[in-house]
Chains A and B, each alone.
Chain A
Amino acid sequence: MNFDWTREEAELASKVSAVFGAECVSQLEALEHADLDEMRRTTLSFLKKLPGTGYLGLALGPKAKGEIMTLIAGQERLAVRSNSLFLAVESSARLFGGLLRGFGNPQALGQILDPLARGETIAAVAVSEPEERDSPAAALTYGVARGDGFLVTGKKSYMTNGPIADWIAVTGEIQGSPAVFLVRGDQRGVHVGPRLSTVGYNGIAVSALDLDKAEVPGSHVMGPFEDRRHLDFLATMQDLVLTMASVGLIERTVAFSKNYAQSHVRGGKQIVKYQEVRFKLADMLTLSHSSKLLAYRAGWLLSVGDPEAATVLRCAKVFSSEAAEQTAIMAMQIMAGAGYVSGNPVERAYRDAKLAALGGTTSEVARMAIAADQLRRYQVQAHGSH
């Protein structure tokens, strides 16, 4: 057992932190109000700074699971800076990049993967569909063979980075078997919907996707697969990303709240001197520590392929997302009226925190899976004999 980061993990974290100097604060702030052009420019500008850190190439695909702890060390540093940028980067590098590196042919896909690794392109992954939110088994997106390629038809919802993406990986089926189709947002038959107005994460662009007989060459089709491991990979990475997003949000919110409580004066003294405020800060920090350690342990279990990794990751996601919401609620109470004014970090955290509980595996679905795992472990045979 070792609760210290290894040198490699610490170095990666340090390099990622170094990308975000003081000059980045205004850029990241502006990202929250950016139109699509500005959002794309800003996102790309940060993506281009990251390749030198080694961050973008970590844990791409199941075979690279041994890099997950190093990845987490970097994710934490990025998430604490900006939840929006973190999600945009992770959707592009980790989900899209991991899908292609882990399940595609890297040589054949070099023209897509190389610029992605250099941070020169933005990518998106389209998985969820309007009619069946949590069951990819009922995919409504499919490809029909035509010549050397496929004509792909289908509908996708809630695609992060969709409106600013160069490439989109669309999950679907070919004759009932899972497949992934790589399309460009501006090609014929691909209709990226308008940017959706969301409660939080205003620094990312989310949209729906319509495919109407979009032509996809065979070289840009992954699969058909015999199993759904690529979808499992996506679900796992998405849950890990959202867990680390919550961890980062909590850390940032605690730090901001502490500074505010030390500088804001009421009743002739700093509000941090009031026990009600101090106790909230203590509760928030406790949630921060416990969320982090649980996330680290979940990541470590994933990295060593432990059989309980999936369950512990679900625990981490549920816990950290709910801890993030509680932290944001307490932070807003500390700031009172000032916290309710749009544009401050706590108000943003209050809105952003909600996503993690409903994105990826929802808290409800996660709890059912966690319980199912426990019920299997302590299975009772018929009528009480166990």
Chain B
Amino acid sequence: MDFSLTDEQRMFKEQVLRFARKELAPRAQEFDLRSEFDWEAWKKLGEFGILGLHFPEELGGSGADVLTSVLAAEALGEAGVDGGLALSYGAHTYLCADTIFSHGTDEQRRKYIPKLAKGEWVGCMGLTEPSAGSDVASLRTRAEKRGDRWVLNGSKMFITNGAIADVAVIYAKTDTSAAQMGISAFIVEKGSPGFSVGRNLIKMGVRASPTSELIFDDCEIPKENLLGREGAGFLMAMQTVEWDRSTLLAPFVGAASYLIERCSKYAQEREQFGRPIASFQAIRHKIADIKIFLEAARPLVYRIAWCKDQGRPLNHLEAAVAKLFIGDWSLKPTSDAVQVFGGYGYCHEYDVERAFRDGRLAPLGGGTSDIQKVLISRLM
């Protein structure tokens, strides 16, 4: 067993950290407050190469391995980048672009990946519906073949990047008599007839990431926009779990490092009863607890990434364990950080307030903690 990173991996993480601290983190507060997507930060992410990190160079990427991608995502969290921006990045690169890359034709890859890798286009993924979240088999969105076109009807809910996406990977039932195996995936571009974006949801956290409903009302797309083979959509969605449990969890792990830094500095500056609050055991124990969470969470995520790099099939038990642990156990560190900051921690101008709200997504998004427990208890 060996937990070492290569020099290249370490240096790249440092580079991302420096870049994110300088170019992205200072913008977080403003865009969170305005609940607006930060296009300038997005452009910078694209220029730096993060949005297409693991894609081949000929498609505009850098050919990075999964672990390096995880380190980059962790560095974003560690730098204090807005949780919404990190979420948008995850949904764009891994849930949308990678699905096209992994299951698309050469033509589909050439058409979409370079634009997505550079950030010229924004991608999203639509699986969840108003009445079908964790219960994927009960999807109601239908796709029907009519001549040389597919016609989609239905709606999708809680779609990250939905309102700003140029291209979406949409899961719909093509065989209503089959459960999961009746689901297919489609590429739907903005402007497709019958495709519209519903209301933008006002959220507790990750506010700089637009979340919306997508509506398909006799939405017509060309027949070649079927992604992969008919009926393979569920398996494609499940394959994104590997990314979801590694790169999309990594910012929550990185955020713990950020909280340690913020709390450690604040606790040394803030004085009460004539001395820095860092001298009180209660404060120190909170800082220690955040560090303990960080150290426990990190290898769980690295393990998923390492296995994918080895070409091993996803171990669903390990993936669910990582998601459950980071989902449930990351809440206390954000709460502890607010407590260290006291009344100031409750105010927007101190970043821990944003981290507290953003972190609440962890046990909800990408499969709730309860669903992870169902999975784990079934698999164990």
Contact residues of A with B, CB < 8 Å?
1-6, 9, 69, 258, 272, 275, 278-279, 281-283, 285-286, 289-291, 293-294, 296-298, 300-301, 304, 311-312, 315-316, 318-319, 364, 366-368, 370-375, 377-380, 383-384, 386
Contact = CB atoms under 8 A, between A and B. Distances in A.
A290 B1 contact: no
Contacts of B67: 1
A319 B296 CA distance: 8
Given A281-B380, A366-B288, A374-B260, 9 more contacts: A282-B324, A282-B372, A290-B296, A290-B300, A294-B299, A296-B1, A296-B3, A364-B281, A378-B261
Contacts of B292: 315, 318-319, 370
B285 A286 contact: no
Given A3-B307, A371-B284, A375-B268, A316 B295 contact: yes
Contact of B299 (A278, A297, A366, A379): A297
Given A286-B324, A315-B295, A370 B288 contact: yes
B66 to A, nearest CB: 11
A201 B377 CA distance: 30
B325 A375 contact: no
A281 B376 CA distance: 8
29 contacts: A1-B4, A2-B1, A258-B380, A275-B374, A279-B373, A281-B376, A281-B380, A282-B372, A282-B375, A282-B380, A285-B321, A285-B376, A289-B300, A289-B325, A290-B300, A293-B299, A293-B300, A293-B303, A300-B2, A315-B295, A318-B292, A368-B288, A370-B291, A370-B292, A371-B285, A374-B260, A374-B288, A375-B268, A378-B264
Given A286-B325, A380-B269, A278 B373 contact: yes
Interface string B273-289: 00000100101110111
Nearest to B9: A1
A366 B297 CA distance: 19
Contacts of B377: 272, 278-279, 281-282
A143 B4 CA distance: 45
A282 B374 CA distance: 8
Contacts of A289: 300, 318, 321, 325
A294 B295 contact: yes
Nearest to A4: B1
A368 B281 contact: yes
B265 A283 contact: no
Contacts of B376: 281-282, 285-286
B252 interface: no
A300 to B, nearest CB: 5
A286 B288 contact: no
Contact size range, B: 35 or more
B341 interface: no
B291 A3 contact: no
B306 interface: yes
A371 B287 CA distance: 6
Contact of A372 (B284, B303, B378): B284
B369 to A, nearest CB: 9
A297 B3 contact: yes
Nearest to B292: A315
Contacts of A2: 1-2, 306
Contacts of A377: 264
A1 B7 CA distance: 12
A386 to B, nearest CB: 6
Nearest to A1: B306
Most buried by A among B267, B299, B375: B299
A375 B261 CA distance: 8
A6 B1 contact: yes
A294 B47 CA distance: 36
Nearest to A316: B295
A279 B260 CA distance: 30
Interface in B295-319: 295-300, 302-303, 306-307, 317-318
A386 B380 contact: no
Contact of B284 (A6, A367, A383): A367
A283 B2 CA distance: 27
Contacts of A378: 260-261, 264-265, 268
A373 B1 CA distance: 26
A368 B284 contact: yes
